[in-house]
Chains A and B, each alone.
Chain A
Amino acid sequence: MRRTRAAAAGAVTVSLMTLVTACGGGSSTSGGSNDSPKTLTYWASNQGASIEVDKKVLQPELDKFEKQTGIKVKVEVVPWSDLLNRILTATTSGQGPDVLNIGNTWSASLQATGALLPWDAKNFAAIGGKDRFVDSALGSTGAQGQDPAAVPLYSMAYALYYNKEIFADAGITKPPATWDELIADGKKIQAKGKSALGAEGANLSENIHHVFVFAKQHGADFFTSDGEPDFTNDNVVAAVKQYVDLMAKDKVIPTGDAEYAQNQSVSDFAKGNQAMLLWQSASANLESQGMSADKYGIAPVPVQSGTPGTGTQVNSAVMGINLAVFKNTDNIDGAKKFVKFMTGDAEQKILNTAYSSIPPVKTVQAESVFSTGANKVLKDTLATSAAALPQVADESQFETAVGTAVKDLFADAAAGRAVTTESVKAALEKAQQQMPTK
């Protein structure tokens, strides 16, 4: 009996100690150590069609890494919807993974927390040097003038995916190169009873990516050069209105898409119900939904006129995933080795092929396998006509505020309410007022 009581008291004490330790974060300023050199924890973002697919892709590579280095990597694939909150929680508690994937648009926001290892010249040297990576990918790794907070892992860009059969039925011989052409083609497609263009009207990030491109095409930015929000700029308003008008006025996006937020537009396209889709690196996703590569074509995202390029001819955000290391890792050397492994030529080829993304490593990107079909369009876009989203500390807040404004405008359009320049401006003004003041 006495032994039982002692054991119970011990268990309670240990539980409390664990809880106290778990709650004890928040002030960890450690610069990392090598206290745990044989293991690493890795949070991978969900890149494939499902978490199981990701595990199947990653596990053989992690086993290879263990064989090479003796370091066991415990991987957890985190859904996108949870990833940012998980990172924030880990940042606050100091109890995060050693290595993690971050969306490249979050780089500057997460850099501001000070939790991520800065990739200075010494750290870059440990993984083969900064020069190995293409410039467009490096442009989304942190605020300008600071050491990057992460290393590029997968690069992606938006493209126009179109259904060849629906286009042929509508008598369209080539994909639209301008928005006017897209609208005209959309009418022909709708006349044949098919949906023209898909969108994810309730997905804040998707909204941001598209209105960012439209803003670039109108020669505008959402932030001034000194990082202040500039959402009510006339050109920004015109850009947002043009995107929402694809549903409200031009009616090429079906009103039902206003509530899409879970990639339903990709499913619509894969099922052959919809002729066009603006998406980033969708091939693997479409294949997993039963749409073979010969059923669809890939073209650059339309521009206002002419051909894609820099400045107002930008037609995609630089999308992608970066690899970051938590500054307080207990295996700093192992973490760098892992980053070197994952950004090594061999792994880059395997992983980017599996995820139908483009390698941000110059030597691998130059390989012929990434210069054909879909990859060629994406690669050319990244090289010539993609721009990085604002690398400001408030990027995350910007995604929420403006993404919500666009979501609400789509809801207005779906409900048949007029979307006017004034209503767009009012929505963006409200979004701007919600941004943190400095």
Chain B
Amino acid sequence: MTTTTAAEAAVHKTPSGAVQPGPRRRPGRIRRVGLPYLLLLPALLLELLVHLVPMVIGIVMSFKELTQFYIRDWGAAPWSGLDNYKVSVDFDAPVGEALLHSFLVTVAFTLLSVGLCWLIGTAAAVFLQDTFRGRGLLRALFLIPYALPVYAAVITWVFMFQHDNGLVNHVLHDQLHLTDKPSFWLIGDNSFWALLTVSVWKGWPFAFLIVMAGLQNIPGELYEAAALDGAGMWQQIRRITLPSLRPVNQVLLLVLFLWTFNDFNTPYVLFGKSAPEAADLISVHIYQASFVTWNFGTGSAMSVLLLLFLLVVTGVYLLLTSRGRKPADA
């Protein structure tokens, strides 16, 4: 079957192939067709200015020897070729070694945080699927960490993690006697667990929210039929809930991964500009390289490397998760 597009329909061809002017378009038509693009233009321009231009500038900077001597006129900074990249990936030298350490810490942190957020969020959403008295109140309570301003929430955790007067040590040491002596949470090795706790605390409500929305779309008849067939709760979760949530989870896990991997606010508010080695997430590490030690060129190179890593991971993830998916119009 052939179809005629609107554009083709607007012209008439003679047998010789010459194009004759078609019927005169109504003046409103151009406006009607062009208006959506016109309305999109400011957003496109802003996207260009806010994201694409800085990204290109960042890539250019990564090839420059950019320190405080050139920050005022960064275009004049001498080209350094691939030096910033070589320094960043030379894992036997201090800069590369520190970057690799930071990367590995971030990977471990991200996997644990995303996994726990998803697990807790899903469990809470499934738990609140059934109607019962107080369900609305619980839903609202569960969303509080997500609704709180990040700075206010994390700084409260800083107070709670204080060695001498913090609530965490008071509970773990003074009341439950789980530790021999009060622990340090904001310095040393425990800082990783402190960071993970705060990250999961503020991250799982998002998973809860998304999974809860996904659950709304699963027809109740499926569960009723399964129950009639004798399926228990676990079987229903395994055979109905999780497969039905698959598209939602695919997006949720990707978003959580990207947010957690790039999280800057939580470690920065918890530890300041110089995080303990055990909790040296890559976002703060790059910030430190760029804005604290004023090695803007090296910091830019690290950012580009991080961007490439995230692009690859996202690409592979999307490829794997879309495999086997049937086209919508099939």
Interface, chain A (partner B; CB < 8 A): 12, 15-16, 19-20, 23, 26-29, 81, 85, 88, 91-92, 94, 109-110, 112-115, 201-202, 204, 255-256, 258-259, 261, 393, 396-397, 400-401, 403-404, 407-408, 410-412, 414-415, 430, 433-434, 436
Contacts and interface: CB of A to CB of B under 8 A. Distances in A.
Given A202-B187, A404-B274, A434 B95 contact: yes
21 contacts: A15-B42, A16-B45, A16-B46, A23-B49, A26-B75, A27-B72, A28-B73, A91-B72, A92-B74, A109-B294, A113-B69, A202-B186, A259-B163, A396-B294, A400-B292, A404-B274, A411-B184, A414-B187, A414-B188, A433-B93, A436-B294
A115 to B, nearest CB: 5
B115 interface: no
Given A88-B291, A113-B69, A408-B276, A259 B187 contact: yes
A201 B247 CA distance: 48
Given A16-B46, A411-B187, A115 B72 contact: yes
A19 B53 CA distance: 12
Contact of B186 (A23, A109, A112, A259): A259
Given A88-B291, A396-B294, A407 B71 contact: no
Given A16-B45, A256-B164, A259-B186, A411 B276 contact: yes
Given A258-B184, A433-B94, A436-B67, A28 B72 contact: yes
Interface in B58-89: 67-69, 71-76
Contacts of B46: 16, 19
B188 A436 contact: no
A26 B76 CA distance: 10
A113 B67 CA distance: 9
What are the 4 tightest A-B residue pairs by CB atom distance, in nearest-first order?
A433-B94, A411-B187, A256-B164, A12-B42
A310 B189 CA distance: 41
B74, B94, B189, B288 pick with most chain A CB within 10 angstroms? B94
B78 to A, nearest CB: 13
A407 B188 CA distance: 10
A115 B70 CA distance: 10
Interface string B82-114: 000000000001110010000000000000000
Contact of A113 (B71, B75, B272, B274): B71
B244 interface: no
A261 B272 contact: yes
Contacts, number: 112
A401 B288 CA distance: 10
Contacts of B291: 85, 88
Interface of B: 42, 45-46, 49, 53, 67-69, 71-76, 93-95, 98, 162-164, 184, 186-189, 272-274, 276-277, 288, 291-295
Contact of B68 (A393, A415, A433): A393
B68 A109 contact: yes
Contacts of B71: 88, 91-92, 113
Given A259-B163, A412-B188, A414-B184, 16 more contacts: A15-B42, A19-B46, A23-B49, A29-B72, A88-B291, A91-B72, A115-B72, A256-B163, A259-B186, A397-B293, A407-B274, A410-B187, A411-B184, A411-B188, A433-B95, A434-B98
Contacts of A255: 163, 184
B69 A393 contact: yes
Contacts of A201: 187
Given A202-B186, A400-B288, A401-B293, A27 B68 contact: no
Contacts of A396: 68, 292-294
B187 A258 contact: yes
Contacts of A114: 69, 72-73
Contacts of B277: 408
A415 B69 contact: no
Contact of B74 (A26, A112, A404): A26
Contact of B49 (A12, A16, A109, A261): A16
A415 B72 CA distance: 43
Contacts of B67: 436
B272 A202 contact: yes
B293 A436 contact: yes
A269 B288 CA distance: 32
B68 to A, nearest CB: 5
Given A259-B186, A411-B184, A403 B274 contact: yes
B72 A113 contact: yes
Contacts of B293: 396-397, 400-401, 434, 436
A112 B69 contact: yes
Contacts of A411: 184, 187-188, 276
A407 B69 contact: no
Contacts of A81: 272
Given A256-B164, A415-B184, A113 B74 contact: no
B82 to A, nearest CB: 16
B73, B93, B184 pick with most chain A CB within 10 angstroms? B73
Contact of A415 (B73, B162, B188, B292): B188
Nearest to A437: B87
B42 A16 contact: yes
A20 B54 CA distance: 12
Contact of A259 (B75, B93, B162, B189): B162
Contacts of B94: 430, 433-434
A403 B291 CA distance: 16
Contacts of B75: 26-27
A110 B75 CA distance: 19
B42, B45, B162, B294 pick with most chain A CB within 10 angstroms? B294
B8 to A, nearest CB: 32
Contacts of B189: 415
Nearest to B187: A411
Nearest to A111: B68
A52 B188 CA distance: 35
A400 B184 contact: no
B212 to A, nearest CB: 37
Given A256-B164, A259-B187, A407-B187, A204 B69 contact: no
A374 B293 CA distance: 36
B73 A29 contact: yes
B276 to A, nearest CB: 7
A421 B254 CA distance: 47
Given A393-B68, A397-B293, A433-B93, A259 B49 contact: no
B72, B93, B277 pick with most chain A CB within 10 angstroms? B72
Nearest to B290: A88
Nearest to B288: A400
Contacts of A85: 291
